[in-house]
Amino acid sequence: MDKIIASNSIPKSKYWDLITSTLSSYEVKDISTDGTVARRLVKDDYIFVNDAWNIDDIGQIPNFQQQYVKYKRTTQNIKFQTENHSLALELKLVCYHKLFSDEWSLTTMFAKYPSKLNKLIQFQNEKYPHLHSFLDLDIESTEKEWIWWLNDKGIETIKTSKNRKYGEYEHKNEIAHFFRLIHENLFNLTDTREEWEKDRWDVRVLNAKYGVTYNLSTTNYYLNFRNIINIVFGKYLKKYIKTRLLSGGRFSWGTAKVYLQVVPLFLNFISKLEPDWNDLKGLTREHIEKYLEHLRHYAKSSIKHKNANPKAHIFQNIKCVYKFLKDTQRFDYSIAPEKSTSKLLYDEDYPKLDKKSDDDIDYIPDSILEQLFENINDLHPDVQPVVWVAFKSGMRINDVLELTQDCLVRLNGKYSIQTDIEKTYTKGHKMPIDDQLANMIAILIRNSKELSNDDNNPEKYIFVRYRGPRKGKPFSQGWVQDKLNDLAIKKNIRDEMGNVFHFKTHQFRHTYAVKMLNGGVDILTVQELLAHASPEMTLRYARLLEDTKRKAFEKVVKQGVFSFDLNGEIHQVSETVDIPEDVLGMMWKDEKLNALDNPYGTCRARVNGNCPLAAEPPCLTANDGKPCFDLAVGMTSFDVKKYELLIETTTKWIEASKEYGREDMVKANEKNLERYQNIYETIKGGNVIFGRFDRMKRQLERKKKEGVKRG
């Protein structure tokens, strides 16, 4: 054979030349005091020649000198002593790359991996003594054999972990995964093809070469086409995804990942139905119906995790498959179906999705916020400022984590965060912030500038990893969320149902929106502040606010409705159970549409200019010395404050009148004071005095009778 592996397409001679040249030199980074980095190539065959690397030797390379000083472990060597020299070179190549790319530290390589390498070499010597290259092994079958071998040696290969979404689950531990780590890294390092030609694309490479953008605070960098059974189908799906990513349309890397979860399942299903097909020309409605049956069965039987939505899963699958099939025809692909996609997939095939309740907006309740901020100092120190920025700005978590050293701007003495919003393609979006948050960001910027250089933070982020596999990239969203949920468990942060609260990073954005609307900010301003592309999401927040107000209103009313009797005295109309929902509905609607605020409560007559006594306004004596029937008191929390103020000012009037001998004023104000105190004592506990309660009940009964007559 002329090649190591068919899909790698690199001749043997070039394969070994690549390994030899790589291991015979290394890059040294010289970092100056101004943060700039000078790179130079050092010719040194130490790594290539020696089958045992010593930490004292590796520690002299400038890149690792600081780590070497801090190294405290006893292990001094990592050995590549196999009976076949070519295998040793392959193992060296993987370790060399991990070390010089900063994915492994000196401590990780010298303290963690020597024992794993020894076991892998022992396995190879026993099972494959004549092996020439690890890439000659089939990764799937050999990994199974590797795990069986480890188990036979009494080495544990399973680890149990717990996931809040899926519960407790078992998975391979590090030693079980080690063969795959070596094999996959070796393959990727020696695969010299153009990225688009590979069966697994790395978005970091595509970003560097073609500007394909991605969410830098996530950790999944790959699109994997290896699971597609039919090679031709895989070729055209790669062509399709490439076209969409490079087009001017809004087809993101995240969307591409969704398509890679969905379309291969459809293509593999068709391949199993029609194993001789290399195109989709013969695709019929019958094939689609079988696929839909399979899809619905899978959704019902296999999607069981918390908050699972089988309908949404089916809808997403059909949507992506339909778009793919339609585009193969539009792009004139040779595999495209001959039948029109409209005759293959019908509108009726899409399940009707359950309408999202506005109550489902996943914001953080005040009780949880109180617990969070009470324990904020126990949160990981790197996560604390992330939480404050997200909470006070309403920004998406990825936009928070991608803030840079130039994000803080000041205009007319007011501070704002300025950044680009990736999701809605908004450039230079400004978010006003308070001085406290501005001071915190200023400190983060200062620290970032002090610790950063062109090697460890080339993009000048303020929430950044300065070393390790994510060097130069922002904190990952998953890590931030994990730290919040670790705090929830550690500090027993529980919701109203008594369950430990589960934090999700996007909740802070929802919370910000709800609090803004609760504070009286208009919907268009909230839409602008949050950089929503359309008002749809903002309107959901507004509807949630409306529902919240209605529920608060009903809670108040159900504590007990009071009214003024014919003598102007306060009395309770009925107990909680006597208030029908339709009466509550009319009261709420009347409060929203007809109520006008005044110093004594909210009035239903003045909004239409129907109160002849509005100039004074003696709303508590307008009905022959008794309260107006259109007056309601206690409908809002402001009414309690109004009567506290009325009592305070009236008391002062009485004291002043007594001082000047105005008995007539004393008498009048004492009567008013008694009225105010009676009302205050009634409403301060959360009760409502509703003047026209009986009238409203009669009005409702009259409307019901009229409705019966018309019916």
What the block records as the tokens of 260 is: 């890679």
Q: Are residues 186 and 264 in the same domain?
A: no
Sign of the torsion angle spanned by Cα atoms 598, 603, 609, 612: negative
Q: In this structure, what is the dihedral angle of CA atoms 536, 541, 546, 552, given to the nearest 10 degrees?
A: 160
Least confident of 66-75, 177-186, 637-646: 637-646
- Give 372: exposed, middle or buried? Use CB within 10 Å, 0-12, 13-18, 19+: buried
Beta strand ranges found along 483-637 (DSSP E): 561-564, 570-574, 596-598, 601-603, 631-633
3-class SS string, 456-511: CCCCCECCECCCCCCCCCECCHHHHHHHHHHHHHHCCCECCCCCECCCCCCHHHHH
Q: Are residues 223 and 149 in the same domain?
A: no
User: Rounded mean pLDDT of the chain?
Assistant: 83
Residue 244's pLDDT band, with cuts at 50, 70 and 90, is very high
Q: Is 655 strand, coil or helix?
A: helix
> pTM for this structure?
0.69
d(CA 682, CA 688): 8
Q: Are residues 186 and 200 in the same domain?
A: no
The per-residue pLDDT for range 457-489, each reduced to its tens digit, is 999 999 999 988 899 999 999 999 999 999 999
Residue 626's pLDDT band, with cuts at 50, 70 and 90, is confident
Q: Are residues 171 and 99 in the same domain?
A: yes
Q: Looking at residue 606, what is its pLDDT?
A: 43
Residue finishing a domain among 513, 543, 573: 543
Q: Are residues 345 and 369 in the same domain?
A: no
**Number of separate domains in the chain:** 4
What the block records as the tokens of 197 is: 């030609």
b/e per residue 153-185 (b: at least 16 CB within 10 A) = eeeebeeeeeeeeeeeeeeebebbbbbeebbeb
Q: Are residues 4 and 138 in the same domain?
A: yes
Place of tokens 């390379």: 61
Q: Is 77 inside any structural domain?
A: yes
The per-residue pLDDT for range 489-546, each reduced to its tens digit, is 999 999 888 999 999 888 888 777 777 666 665 556 666 656 655 556 556 555 555 5
Q: Are residues 176 and 253 in the same domain?
A: no
Q: Within 10 A of 150 (CB to CB), how many other CB atoms are there? A: 20
End-to-end CA distance of the chain, in Å?
89
Q: Looking at residue 431, what is its pLDDT?
A: 84
Segment 25-33 shows an average pLDDT of 91
What the block records as the tokens of 43 is: 């010719």
Residue 250's pLDDT band, with cuts at 50, 70 and 90, is confident
The per-residue pLDDT for range 149-161, each reduced to its tens digit, is 999 999 999 998 8
Domain range for 436: 360-543
Report which listed range, 319-333, 344-358, 552-566, is most confident: 319-333
Q: Are residues 160 and 176 in the same domain?
A: yes
Q: Looking at residue 689, what is its pLDDT?
A: 80
Q: Looking at residue 564, what is its pLDDT?
A: 58
Q: Are residues 102 and 209 in the same domain?
A: no
Residue finishing a domain among 193, 208, 239: 193
Q: Are residues 271 and 295 in the same domain?
A: yes
Q: Are residues 532 and 566 in the same domain?
A: no
Q: Are strands 200-202 and 167-172 parallel, antiparallel or unpaired?
A: unpaired
Q: When comparing pLDDT for 711 and 145, which is higher?
A: 145
The per-residue pLDDT for range 42-55, each reduced to its tens digit, is 999 999 999 999 99
Report which listed range, 209-213, 235-239, 416-420, is most confident: 235-239
Maximum pairwise Cα distance, the chain? 119
d(CA 334, CA 119): 49
The partner residues of 163 in beta bridges, in order of sequence, read 167
Q: Looking at residue 423, what is its pLDDT?
A: 65
Segment 550-555 shows an average pLDDT of 54
- Evaluate whether 328 touches 236 at the Cβ level (below 8 Å): yes
Segment 267-292 shows an average pLDDT of 96
Least confident of 178-192, 320-334, 560-574: 560-574
Alpha-carbon Rg for the chain in angstroms: 35
Residue 191's pLDDT band, with cuts at 50, 70 and 90, is very high
Q: Looking at residue 6, what is its pLDDT?
A: 35
**In percent, how much of the chain has pLDDT > 90?**
50
d(CA 373, CA 355): 34
Q: Is 342 inside any structural domain?
A: yes
d(CA 350, CA 317): 10
Q: Looking at residue 683, what is its pLDDT?
A: 83
